Amino acid sequence: MEDKEINWNEIIDNVFYDNYVKGDPSKFLNKLETVLKEKGYGKPISPTRPNTFGRTDDVRQRAIDNFKAISAIEDDKNNRPLDRYIMQDILVDKFFNGNQDAAGKFYQEWLKKRGEYLPYTDYDGSEMNIFKSVEDVPIWTPNDDVVNYMGNKVYFDYLFGGRHYKTYKEQDKKRKENDEYYKNRKEGKYRDVCNQCSSDAMMPWVSSDADYPKGMVKKSEVCKKCNPDGEKPEKMSDWSWGYYCPICQNPRSMTAVVDNTNSDYETYINNIKYWKNRLDNNPNNSEYKEQLDYFENKIYKEGQRCDCSFEKLKDVHDRYVQFEDYESLENMKKNKLYNWFFQKLGNNQRLNEHIKRIKNIMRIIKS
């Protein structure tokens, strides 16, 4: 464990200035490892990993083991924190002027020269070289980077510069995401799955549906992956050929209900007559009843509505007005399922105008 009295950064700086060779950090890295060992800096170990696959029937024990594993890795980050200063501040920034790719390539070659290793080729032909033991891993390597292969053998490719290595920027992003996740979960928040990309990764944290924008048609509107430009409303499709509400998804059939202006109307009417006749002759046949219900539900009934309330449709309408999406507003008006809404909306607007006129008259009389 790190001695809190030792100024490790100062030690690293001294080794750097005494062993700097332009373009070749080998002398610096070799000397640094010797010095850190002499000063008692802790060695990396093969850490116990959290059991995310449920390889035990004892749920309570699994939770305890996972807590210990996560805590041990976190403790290592606190007690052996020098890797970032060595790899980023010295190797990348001072030796390679911020070029992480060049630094990573050099480091991987240096790993091969520093001790015995097993050349290994992955299934796709790429290099996946292996140290025989964790003892061969550079002393500053964080335990989080030690990924084992068949016992105690350690992959190079999870160490700095390897193709599976997570850069400090990636690590910081992941840590921030984890902190955000636990904070929001503690507050009882959740993220819904986006209906478009089927992922919750880019969805906002919410406490309830009330946190979403009023008048939202689809949750993909607030998904930063599917709608990176902002929370623009979902376009309202033209359902004049057949009536369906994409907001409440009713009628349930995605082919919608049709009226006598649709080319399929007569086909549906003939099917209704056919199945009705068969059901009359055999009233207990559930299949005939199911077929009859299906085709009857395909026919638009005068005054038919979807399941949306006036308030919900008003929110959708007002949102289209806010974003000046007049094409979607026009498509809403073409949908017969919304006829009642626009009729009531017009009545309300006329009533409000009438009330406003009366108030103006009363104001004039009083003055």
Determine what percent of the chain is predicted with pLDDT higher than 90: 38
Domain count, the chain: 1
- What tokens does 306 get? 């979807």
Ranges 29-33, 212-216, 282-286, 300-304: which has the least confidence: 300-304
pLDDT digits (tens, 9 = 90+) for 201-217: 899 999 998 899 989 98
pTM for the whole structure: 0.59
Q: Decide: 141 and 117 in contact? Cβ < 8 Å.
A: no
Does residue 240 sit within a domain? Answer: no
The 3-class secondary structure across the chain, one letter per residue, is CCCCCCCHHHHHHHHHHHHCCCCCCHHHHHHHHHHHHHCCCCCCCCCCCCCCCCCCCCHHHHHHHHHHHHHHHHHHHHHCCCHHHHHHHHHHHHHCCCCHHHHHHHHHHHHHHCCCEECCECCCCCECCEECCHHHCCCCCCHHHCCEECCCEEEHHHCCCCCCCCCHHHHHHHHHHHHHHHHHHHCCCECCCCCCCCCCCCCCCECCHHHCCCCCCCHHHHCCCCCCCCCCCCCCCCCCCCECECCCCECCCCCCEECCCCCCHHHHHHHHHHHHHHHHHCCCCHHHHHHHHHHHCCECCCCCCCCCCHHHHHHHHHHHHHCCCHHHHHHHHHCHHHHHHHHHHHHHHHHHHHHHHHHHHHHHHHC
Parent domain of 358:
265-362
| pLDDT tier, 358 (very low <50, low <70, confident <90, very high otherwise) | low
Report CA dihedral (107, 109, 111, 117) to the nearest 10 degrees.
160
Cα 1 to chain centroid distance, Å, stands at 37
Instruction: Give the pLDDT confidence score for residue 347 in this predicted structure.
Output: 79
Does residue 182 sit within a domain? Answer: no
Does residue 68 sit within a domain? Answer: no
Residue 28 has pLDDT above 90, yes or no: yes
Does residue 275 sit within a domain? Answer: yes
| pLDDT tier, 1 (very low <50, low <70, confident <90, very high otherwise) | very low
Does residue 183 sit within a domain? Answer: no
Separation of alpha carbons 42 and 108, rounded Å: 22
> What is the rounded average pLDDT of the residues 89-93?
95
Does residue 351 sit within a domain? Answer: yes
Does residue 333 sit within a domain? Answer: yes
Residue 179 has pLDDT above 90, yes or no: no
Residue 367 has pLDDT above 80, yes or no: no
Residue 33 has pLDDT above 90, yes or no: yes
- Which amino acid would we find at residue 87? M
Say which residue, 233 or 350, is predicted with more confidence.
233
Does residue 241 sit within a domain? Answer: no
Say which residue, 250 or 112, is predicted with more confidence.
112
pLDDT digits (tens, 9 = 90+) for 120-156: 887 888 888 899 888 899 999 998 888 888 777 888 9
